[in-house]
Amino acid sequence: MKYKQVAKNFPYSPYPSHQILSVVSFFATLGKSQQTPEHLMQIISLAISKLPDIQINRIHWVQTPDINANDVVEQENYNANNPNGLANKSSELNQVAFISGELKKYNGDYRVALLTVNQMVDQIKRDAGVASVELLQAPVNVSSLSKLEGSTSDELDSRPSPAFFKIKVVLNQTQFAQSKVMK
């Protein structure tokens, strides 16, 4: 009875109590996981240390229950599939990274560009903490369906277009559990 009297003086909240409880529980779960991008940064550093022509422009690191997450998360779709706007309490958070970069000294040789980026992908795959690596955007389009433009009589541009690439890396959860115990 006393609680109801005290509760009358609580400020109004636009959020239902079950949503607030979900947020607090989810925050507590995040605090327990204590995952950082440190291991990911070590993997990337090792891969690019052997490939000096690679320049990393952006790393987008996310913790998500969905290993199929995209680089750009559409919040509306996420909320529609998750009524509380949060992951299920039983869901493990996966570490997913999207690495965007380019070749520093790209001279138009598409074979070298593809080889260099594939070497980076292979180097990342070698790490035991990596579950999967996917090349989302190759530095050049080698598809036979791509449209050719220009003319042999056009003046040659002295600078080839940049060779951008994008890689998706999903880290292995079991490796994290082991590495957290070892620290």
The confidence score (pLDDT) of residue 157 equals: 54
Domain ranges within the chain, ordered by starting residue: 35-142+157-182
Predicted confidence pLDDT, tens digits, the chain (183 residues) = 687 787 778 777 777 778 888 878 877 776 666 678 889 999 999 999 989 999 999 999 988 888 888 887 543 344 445 544 444 444 677 899 999 999 988 888 889 999 999 999 999 999 999 999 999 999 987 655 555 555 555 555 556 678 999 999 999 875 444 444 334
> Where does the chain have alpha helices with state H?
2-7, 17-33, 38-49, 75-81, 110-125, 173-182
Q: What is the Cα gyration radius of the chain?
A: 23
Count Cα neighbours of 166 within 13 Å in the Cβ-side half-sphere: 9
Distance CA 95, CA 131 (A): 10
- Do 119 and 161 meet the contact criterion of CB atoms below 8 Å apart? no
Question: Number of helices and strands (H, E) in the chain?
Answer: 6, 4
**How do strand 94-103 and strand 54-64 relate by DSSP bridges?**
antiparallel
- pTM across the whole model: 0.66
In CATH terms, the fold of domain 35-142+157-182 is Threonyl-tRNA Synthetase; Chain A, domain 2 (3.30.980)
The confidence score (pLDDT) of residue 1 equals: 66
The confidence score (pLDDT) of residue 149 equals: 57
CA-closest candidate to residue 140, choices 108, 99, 100, 104: 108
CA-closest candidate to residue 170, choices 95, 59, 120: 95
Q: Would you give the end-to-end CA distance of the chain in angstroms?
A: 50
Q: What strands, in cross-sheet order, belong to the sheet with 164-171?
A: 54-64, 94-103, 164-171, 130-137
The confidence score (pLDDT) of residue 155 equals: 54
The confidence score (pLDDT) of residue 6 equals: 76
